[in-house]
Every structure is written in structure tokens, then in C-alpha cells.
Amino acid sequence: MLTPRQLFLRHQAQTSDFPLLLEIERAEGVYMYAPDGTRYLDLISGIGVSNVGHRHPRVLAAIQGQLDKYLHLMVYGEVVQAPPAQLAQALTATLPARLDNVFFTNSGTEAVEGALKLAKRHTGRTGLISCHNAYHGSTHGALSITGSEGFKNAFRPLLPDVRHIRHNHFDDLQLITEHTAAVVIETVQGEAGVRVPAPGYLPALRQRCTEVGALLILDEIQCGFGRTGTFWAFEQFGIEPDILLTAKGMGGGMPIGAFIAPQAIMAGFKTDPILGHCTTFGGHPVSCAASLATLRVIQEENLLAGVEAKAARFREKLVHPTIREVRNCGLLMAVEFDSFAVLKPLIDRALWDQHLLTDWFLFCDNSLRIAPPLTITMEQIEEACAGLLEAISN
């Protein structure tokens, strides 16, 4: 009989010639366990997913409770099901009153797709603007606004009428015009290597969008759901979006995403054509139950309150001559080294010698990704930093 590792390599589609090949049998809290019992400390949360830790008991209980009632019943938006309805209410309660309508998807990239269609439908315009080095997803529309030529060239033609602006460059805001349907931007750039907006940048962007009637779409797929220390990252920057995107950490480990907009904008999907946006599985009751429990855990276990101090502890400990810079917004962190050639062996040693799971960034390969579950303790942070420094020193 072939082992899971052999089956993985033989029959599961690969996305690179160097997969991690770490085999995990179970996970709990901040730890993942290999079949031989080796315990790995998860410093990246499945790329921003396990914000409340792996298999949080309240998330498991919510899933279990829903399993006893029903799974899929009907395509999106026809049958009244309590989990998505209650989750929609709970999400909007965390947001400015204008953002009162939620469309559920299965993933981040689908949330991007829905929002792009909605912006075109609402404004009657076609222009889309996003940032260089932005990552918004892998489907055609989301890929079109992703800010990396290298990722896109093989898949052209993509969406027309897309322009990219330089992140944090105020001058480029003039490229946003009466032709622009929407500007899509990560509130804090993730795959660019954790790039925090400069003081005044997001307010200036917000103002320019309002001036020309373009919708501002904030992608909080990676930086939302508590990752940066506020429930939504935009709360720290004094602006509000017209459409908000979420996924990843939203599900507490289950697949779910959403785009959130004012009802008057979302109503564009109801007419001309009717069913302007459809999904079979979006708003799956089990995922919604898990997501509502996740939201409640973040609120009721006060996870946001600890984020800043935990990030500060990482910053305090991660001091070494080879570390060039640490960038962070809450527990979305990038530790910069000279090059990928320096970083890659360090990531490998951290994993196989120190049993610490880290990563680099899609568009920033000289920086180490640190984005642990928000539930990580100070002791676990000390353990992680000691291991990382050991891996750096070797």
C-alpha cells in the first residue's frame, strides 16, 4: 500500500517542484503533530486562517451542532437557513452601519470576483485599479488585478481596463478617475511582505475615490478577523470601504469568504439580470456556523487585546545582526533578511531542526512570514523566537 506521501506526490496536483512535504496527522491550538508524534509550532496559521488556533473547541461544537441538523440544502439565497442569516447579522454588527449586506462565498478569490462584478454593475464603469505587488487570488478576475506581471503573463488575456498604482505613492492617486469603477487594495498588504499604509495614504485614497465616484474595495482576506489587533484592519486607519472582502481567518478552519456592501449597492444583483451573482455552496451552513463561533471567540475571549503585546514580544526577541528589519501590523509580521538565499535555508532549519513552521511571501522572498494563531502565549512566543534565533545562528 502506498503511503499518503507517495499518493500526494503521485496523484495530487502539485503547484511547485519543492512542496514542504511535512505530513501532519492532527492539530490542536498552535501545534500540529506529525504521524511520529513530532510537535510543530505553527507560526503561520495556514496562511492567516487559524486565527483562533486549530480546532478551537467552540468552533468544533458549532460544526458538530450543525452536522446534526442539515448540510447543504439549496443554492445560495433561496432557503432561509439560520447559520448564514445569523452570521450576516453578526458580521454587520462589527462594521459601520452602511455596510449592512453580506454575500457569502467559499473562498477569498470568489469574494474578489463578486466584488468586481458588483462594482461594475453599480457604477456602469469598467476601469479597475489595484496596487503593484498586491495579491488578490488565482481566478481570472482576481488574477487580473493581482500586481505581479510574472504571475499573470502565462494566463493572458485577462480582464481588460486594469491599471496598477504604486502602494503608498500619493501621486499615483491621480490615475483614479471618473472612468474607474473600483480601486481594490489590501488594507495592509500581505504577500508584498507586510506593507503598512503610510500615514494619510488610505484617507487620501478614500477621498480620491469619493471625489470621482469610484468604489473603494478593501481586501481584508488576509489582514481581517483580528489579525492586526483590531477586528478589521481598516479601523486603525480612519477610513471606511464601500465593499469589504473577507475569507481565510473568517472560518476558523472551514472554507468561507464574503463580500460586504451597502444593501443599495448589493441590490444590483437582483435585476437586469436577475441572479446577477450565484453560487451553489456559498454560505454553506457548516462553514457559517464555524465562522459565527470564530467571531464570538475573537470577541468573547478578548483575543484582540493581546495582539499588540504579543507582536511587541516577537519584535523585542527577534534581534540579530542578519535581521535587516521587522515589519508588522499586529500579528501579521515580516522579518527581512538580505536575500532568499539567506532566508530559505533558515526556514528549512527552523522547520526540521526547531519544529517551527514559517514561510516567505509570494512577492517578497527575502522576508520570513510570522502570523501565528492569535491565541499563542508569551511562553510559546519565547519558545518560537529562541528556535528561530538558533536556526539563524546555525
Give the binding range for ligand PMP (CB under 6 A) out of 133-141, 152-160, 283-291, 335-343. Answer: 133-141
Residue 221 binding ligand PMP, by CB under 6 A: yes
Among 42, 100, 172, 219, binds ligand PMP (CB under 6 A): 219
Among 107, 246, 287, 291, binds ligand PMP (CB under 6 A): 107
Residue 186 binding ligand PMP, by CB under 6 A: yes
**Tally of CB atoms within 10 A around 101:** 18
**What's the min distance (Å) between Cβ of 24 and ligand PMP?**
19
Residue 109 binding ligand PMP, by CB under 6 A: yes
Residue 196 binding ligand PMP, by CB under 6 A: no
Give the binding range for ligand PMP (CB under 6 A) out of 13-21, 103-111, 206-214, 327-335. Answer: 103-111
Residue 247 binding ligand PMP, by CB under 6 A: yes
Among 29, 108, 226, 253, binds ligand PMP (CB under 6 A): 108
What is the rounded distance in angstroms from the CA atom of residue 338 to the CA atom of residue 346? Answer: 12
Residue 144 binding ligand PMP, by CB under 6 A: no
Residue 19: asked if its preceding bond is cis (omega within 30°), the reply is no
The closest residue (CB) to ligand PMP is: 108
**Tally of CB atoms within 10 A around 9:** 13
Residue (135 or 314) nearer to ligand PMP, CB: 135
Residue 367 binding ligand PMP, by CB under 6 A: no
What is the rounded distance in angstroms from the CA atom of residue 107 to the CA atom of residue 142? Answer: 12
What cell does 370 get? 510570522
Binding positions for ligand PMP, 34-73, rule CB under 6 A:
47
Cα first-last separation, the chain: 39
**What's the min distance (Å) between Cβ of 221 and ligand PMP?**
4
**What's the min distance (Å) between Cβ of 130 and ligand PMP?**
11
Residue (136 or 206) nearer to ligand PMP, CB: 136
Residue (139 or 207) nearer to ligand PMP, CB: 139
Residue (48 or 127) nearer to ligand PMP, CB: 48
Residue 226 binding ligand PMP, by CB under 6 A: no
Give the binding range for ligand PMP (CB under 6 A) out of 135-143, 294-302, 303-311, 348-356. Answer: 135-143
Residue 222 binding ligand PMP, by CB under 6 A: yes
Residue (86 or 139) nearer to ligand PMP, CB: 139
Q: Can you give the binding site for ligand PMP, defined by CB under 6 A?
A: 47, 107-109, 112, 135-137, 186, 190-191, 219, 221-222, 247
